[in-house]
A = this chain, B = another copy of it.
Amino acid sequence: MFEGPVQDLIDELGKLPGIGPKSAQRIAFHLLSVEPPDIERLQNALQRVRDGVQFCVVCGTVSDAEQCRICADPRRDRTMICVVEEPKDVQAIERTREFRGRYHVLGGALDPLSGVGPDQLRIRELLTRIGNQSDGVDVAEVIIATDPNTEGEATATYLVRMLRDFPGLSVTRLASGLPMGGDLEFADELTLGRALSGRRAM
């Protein structure tokens, strides 16, 4: 619709997730009006990501160094591993300040229809990590924190089966139930059902 470089930029922006044609247009015209150094910073950030992002050799999250800050931190509890799907899930759990152990990033969830089987996830690395006592400490608990959806639940079930063989290892799953600050009336049946079946004595 527009002519030349502006439309090219709108087209490229429109390919990004969550950016529709209107947003792409707004961003493109915003970039037309900013100073060149502002665009340059975005370009450089893209270049650095394109040059390759490093992943922690232990847990697999995005990292500055061979080991990420969490895995390299001696104060983190090495007997607990929290298994998540993506690096952003690590950040979400870190924000709660409730977990002092370490993480393992699978890189996704089982989804056979999209061709994601156990070999596409970092499951073998998890088993090696637990079996090897890689830090000279026995892992006592694995918390499975995959998403509470079909793929995440399937992944959790698969992991439980794989982890059964480690003697003395406790395998737990994040609780499902009503979100805090929510309204019982607006909870979907599945969530309310989980909240009921998972009720606790008080």
A161 within 8 A of B: no
- Each complex incorporates copies of this chain amounting to 2
- Least CB distance from A110 to B in Å reads 17
Chain A interface size, under 10 / 10 to 19 / 20 to 34 / 35 or more? 35 or more
For residues 1 through 34 of chain A, which have their beta carbon under 8 Å from a beta carbon of chain B?
A: 1-6, 8-9, 11-13, 15-19, 23, 25-32
Known: A9-B49, A12-B45. 5 other contacts (CB 8 A): A4-B64, A6-B53, A13-B42, A15-B42, A32-B62
Query: Which of A's residues lie within 8 Å of B, judged by CB?
Result: 1-6, 8-9, 11-13, 15-19, 23, 25-32, 36, 38-43, 45-51, 53-54, 62-65, 68-69, 86-88, 91, 94
